[in-house]
Every structure is written in C-alpha cells, then in structure tokens.
A and B are shown apart, each in its own frame.
Chain A
Amino acid sequence: MPRKLPALTADNRAFWQGGEHGQLLIHHCDACARFFHPPSPICPRCASFDVRPRAVSGKGSVASFTVNYQQWTPELETPFVVAIIELIEQPGLRFLSNVVGCDPLSVSIGMRVQVRFEHVEDVWLPLFGKDQ
C-alpha cells in the first residue's frame, strides 16, 4: 500500500529508521528517567537536553482504533486499521500506527500487539501485529 513518507530530521530519524536494525527507538530523558514522544531535543517534562533514543520492547496494547473504510486515494487498500498503541514501558507512552496482519474486525481496545517494520525507501515504519 502506498504511503506518504516523513521528511527525516536529526530529531525524528531514530524513530523512523530504528527498524533497520529491528529496533523501535523512542526518545528517553536520562535526567528524569522517562520516555517521551514525539522525539524532541528537549524533555518536555524537565526541560533537560540530556535526551537520546533508546530501544524499547516493541510490545504494547491498543489504546484506541478505527477501521477506515473510505477510499481516500485510488491506490488505498481498504479496510485498514488506524490505532493508537500504548507501549508497555510507560503509561501514556503512545503513538499512532496501523494494526496489520489480522482481520480488521478482530481488533479491540486492550489487544496486545507487537511491533513489525515495513521498509519503504529509507524509512522503517513501525506497524503492529497481534502479539502471539
């Protein structure tokens, strides 16, 4: 399925390219020992610059989801699932992605998922499948 890709910057590169080595890289503040997202040069909680991308387990659960049926572009393969995934490392640590590799109607809030990467050009999109 075609995807619009993100423009890479010094701040977001780790998130979008960690999958090259099979890693989901999330920014972590070493000063307050917490992850945060989206990545930024500064921790939004304590304003420390002592931040760096760190690998997380890639495990999480579905915080919310929607099955998209609308054919927004001719190339789009519908239906597909858009979801917000909360990672197990920290309450509230989450981002939007797709749940793939299963019947869209089988997805539910609280469902446990595991990251899998889709490689397009120089981007490794962190998508999620059912955690076996």
Chain B
Amino acid sequence: MFDHRYEKDVAITGIGQSEVGRPSSKSAMRLTLEACLEAIADAGLTREDVDGVACWPGDNNNGDPFSPIGPSALKSALGLNVNWFGAGYEGPGPLSGVINGAMAIAAGLCRHVLVFRTITEASARLTNKQAGALSAKTQGRDSSHAWQWFTPFNVHSGINLMALYAQRHFHEYGTRPEQLAQIALTCRANAQRNPRAIYRTPMTMDDYMASRMISSPLRMFDCDVHCDASTAIVLSRRDVARDTRQQPIRIEAMGAALDQPWSWDQISLTQMAAFDVGRMMWARTDYTPSDVGSAQLYDGFSILTMIWLEALGLCPNGESGAFVEGGKRISLTGQLPINTNGGQLSGGRTHGLGYVHEACLQLWGRADGRQTRPHSVAAVAAGGGPLGGSLLLARD
C-alpha cells in the first residue's frame, strides 16, 4: 500500500467563480461566498456535506489584498463544521490549496474539501499604488529571509526577477520578443470569447511591441492584470463522488517537488521549480504529455508560461519560443490550446485557482464560446521562481 498514489482517490466535483472586477464593488467576503456557494451547488452538495476547507496562501492577519480571506473566516461565515482546514504561503505555490485539500481527503480526514482563492488587488490599488510592493512587505529594514537579498538593490516588483529569467532564456535558447508576444496575443484572443475577462479589445503584434517596457525584455503586456475575484472548487473522495451532478474530474497526478534552494536567484534561471514539479507529476501517472488536450499555464508574467510549457514536457526543453511562434499551435483550435479563458494576462489575476476552474470547464465541455475540441486530459500549472505546483486532471 505504500506506493499507492493517493491523489487518484480524489476528484473535482464542482466549481464556482465570482464576478472578476477591476474593481468590484463587492466585499472580499461577498466574492468568496458567491464562488464557494456556486461550487458547492455545482457539485450537487450542500454546506453540510463540506467537512474541509483549504486555501493558498490564506489570511496572514494583515488584511493583505493578495489574500484577504482565509479558511478561518470563510468557515465561520458559512457555518461549516470541518474535520480539517488549513492554508499558508509556504508550499508549492498557488495550487497548494488543491494539493493540501487532496492530501486531507486521501489521508481520510475529509470527504469534501472546499478550496478557494480570493484576491482584491484591483481595489487595493485604487488607494495605494504601492500595494504589494516587495519593499512594503517589511517595515523599516528588510528582515525577510527571501526579500532582503533583493530590495536593497531596488527590486520593488517580482517583474525584475522574472525579467532575469526571460533574459537568460533569450540568451541560451535564442527566444525572441515576437515569440514571447504570442502568450499575450493568445490570451487576448481567448479573452475576447470570455465575457468575464477584463481586457477584451483585440491586441495586435504592433500593439504588443508598442507597449511600454517595464523591465527588459518584459513589457506591460507581459504582466497580468489585477482584479477583485474569488474562485472555488470542491474536491471529493471519489467513492463518495458518485452522486454528484456531473462526472467527477480525477486528479490523475500532482507535482510539488523542489530539488533546489527555495530562492528567486539561486534557483535555475531557465527551469525554476517548474522542471522539478513536472518530473514529479509525470512520474506519478501512465499518461504522457501527448495525452494533454488543453493546458492552463501560469501567466503572472508571460515568460512563466513559456517555461511551464517546457517543464511539463509539452514542448522540448528550450524550444517554447519556436513552439508558440505564430500562435496557431496554442490557439483554441490548435494542437495544444492554452489559457483558454484569457489567462491572467487578459482574463484577470485570479491567481492560481482560476486555471483549475477553466480546465474543468473545458473537460466538462462547458466553456461556452471558447470550447476546444473534446478532450479528457488537461494540465494545470502555477507559480514562478521557487513557487511551483501542477495538476494532471482527467475525465473518464
């Protein structure tokens, strides 16, 4: 029994998402409740069925718009009685809530775990443009284990770190700006078919090239768009998921490995945590990359999507530039549709769980207006630098 891959005992049975506002007039809790109740109903369950709650990164007791609501607040608001709940920043990135929730079910602690992710960065920026700056994470001198190595050199945003990865990718593999542009252009084209997406006006290559350079080689259109939104999914033990409304989506495999230092500058600049994550995920399944029918790959910054394509073996190592060139291959009708709801670049920075929501819509054939050809296996990956996690989702 000790080599059993326990995530296979877990399935996604329901999904929900609030409006995606820039900003929203609703409170963080209101957005969260709308997403969570929609997910519970979508699974054909009631509040009483939920016996676990998970989230990433959860409430840090500081009202951070990056994560204003955690499992504790939600549990109380919804009157849930739970066997287990948990959250925390440290872990394999934005998919940590899903991974932890699946483990709680596999360990026998819970039957149905509600996983959610709420973010209110759009409204936070109305009052404070520096909200979320790395230099604002600590008061006075920088005492944080990770950021003290960067803020003294005027790294105020993660984009400087991602730009270092992008520049190195360009240098080692000959990746070009017009190739990187295809991530932004593809997301925008998909967003035009998603009524919930934030940016829906057409974007051309000229628009992309004319967009402001923020941190070379990354431009404004390589950065995701802040929003106010909440996304939720219900994870269920597969043997109790038989009565749910729709066919459960199995968690076929998870990736969460980190075989390098947890660091933004000591980690491999071209592989990040992502390659460790990909290796682990494929070691836990008989499926192969050629089985993947759609991929939702983290695009907090466009270069990260490129690295995830390689890390999950969806294209050869170092060849993501050629793979996405022209955009056809990764379009809705292409060989591997990616970020089909517009991703975070144009859809909105729902941060992690939005990708799982979209993957499920595609697998269930519910992605109205942007549905790809029917397929039964989808890959989801989220994170950059030392943060990274992935899921292989399968419909029978």
* CA distance in complex: A44, B156 (Å): 28
- 0/1 per residue, A51-67, Cβ < 8 Å to B? 00000000000011111
Q: Judge if A10 is at the interface, Cβ distance under 8 Å.
A: no
A13 on interface, CB distance cutoff 8 Å: no
A-B pair count, CB < 8 Å, reads 113
Whether A84 lies near B157 (C-beta < 8 A) is no
Q: Are B215 and A44 in contact (CB under 8 A)?
A: no
Cβ contacts under 8 Å, A38 to chain B? 149, 263, 266
User: Whose C-beta in chain B lies nearest to the C-beta of A9?
Assistant: B143
Closest to B167 in A: A64
B261 A44 Cβ-Cβ under 8 A = yes
Partner of B265, one of A67, A94, A123: A94
Cβ of B155 within 8 Å of any chain A Cβ, yes or no, is yes
With A64-B167, A70-B215, A109-B168 known as contacts, the answer to whether A76 contacts B154 (CB < 8 A) is yes
Tell me what chain A mostly uses at the interface: helix, strand, loop, or mixed. Answer: strand
Q: Cβ of A4 and Cβ of B157 under 8 Å apart?
A: no
Task: Give the residue name and chain of the A residue nearest to B265 (CB).
Answer: A96
With the chains together, A69 CA to B167 CA distance in Å? Answer: 15
Across the interface, name the chain B residue whose C-beta is closest to A1.
B154
Give the distance in Å from the alpha carbon of A119 to the alpha carbon of B286 in the complex. 57
**Nearest neighbor of B155 in chain A, beta-carbon distance:** A82
Bound together, the chains give a CA A37 to CA B165 distance in angstroms of 19
Q: In the complex, how many angstroms separate the beta carbon of A68 from the nearest chain B beta carbon?
A: 5
B-facing residues in A13-63 (Cβ within 8 Å): 37-38, 44, 63
Check B154–A98 contact: CB distance below 8 A.
Answer: yes
Q: Is B64 an interface residue (CB 8 A)?
A: no
CB distance from A80 to the nearest CB of B (A): 7
B6 at the A interface (CB under 8 A): no
Q: Is A102 an interface residue (CB 8 A)?
A: no
Contacting pair A12 B148 (CB below 8 A): yes
Known interface pairs A37-B266, A96-B265, A109-B168; A7-B148 also in contact (CB < 8 Å): yes
Would B152 and A68 count as touching, CB distance under 8 A?
no
Provide the B146-166 mask, 1 if CB < 8 A to any CB of A, else 0. 001111111111011001111
- Asked if A125 lies at the interface with its beta carbon under 8 angstroms from chain B, I say yes
The answer to whether the Cβ of B171 comes within 8 Å of any Cβ in the partner chain is: yes
**B103 at the binding interface (Cβ < 8 Å):** no
For the complex, is A73 an interface residue (Cβ under 8 Å from B)? yes
Known: A7-B148, A97-B153. A66 touches B168 (CB 8 A): no
Scan residues 32-81 of chain B and give those whose CB is less than 8 A from a CB of chain A: none
CA of A97 to CA of B168 in the docked complex: distance in angstroms?
16
A4 and B149 CA atoms in complex are apart in Å by 11
- Are A4 and B151 in contact (CB-based, < 8 A)? yes
Given A1-B154, A38-B149, A7-B143 contact (CB < 8 Å):
yes
Type the 1/0 row for B237-272, where 1 means its CB is closer than 8 Å to any CB of A. 000000000000000000000000101111001000
Nearest A-chain residue to B171, judged by Cβ: A109
Count, chain A residues at interface, CB 8 A: 35
- CB atoms of A72 and B141 under 8 A apart: no
Q: How far is the CA of A95 from the CA of B266 in the complex (A)?
A: 7
Contact A4 B266 (CB under 8 A): no
Q: Is the CB of B204 closer than 8 A to any CB of chain A?
A: no
Pick from A65, A83, A94: contact of B266, CB under 8 Å: A94
Q: Is the CB of A125 within 8 A of B153?
A: yes
Among candidates B133, B212, B264, B266, residue contacting A69 with C-beta atoms closer than 8 Å:
B212
**A4-B141, A97-B153 known; A84 and B214 CB under 8 Å?**
no
Compute how far the CA of A97 lies from the CA of B164 in the bound complex, rounded to whole angstroms: 12
Contact of A64 (CB < 8 Å), options: B142, B168, B266: B168
If A4-B152, A70-B157, A98-B154 touch, does A84 touch B164 (CB 8 Å cutoff)? Answer: yes
B216 part of interface (Cβ distance < 8 Å): yes
Given A4-B142, A7-B142, A44-B261: A82 and B154 interface contact (C-beta under 8 Å): yes
Answer whether residue B213 sits at the interface, using C-beta atoms and an 8 A cutoff: yes
Of the candidates B130, B155, B165, the one having the most CB atoms from chain A within 10 angstroms of its own CB is B155
A67 and B143 alpha carbons, distance in the complex (Å):
26
Bound CA–CA A96/B265 (angstroms): 7
Given A6-B148, A44-B261, A72-B133, 8 more A-B residue pairs with CB atoms under 8 Å apart are A3-B153, A6-B149, A66-B215, A67-B213, A69-B215, A72-B130, A73-B156, A109-B168
| Interface of B toward A, CB cutoff 8 Å | 130, 133, 135, 138, 140-143, 148-157, 159-160, 163-168, 171, 212-218, 261, 263-266, 269
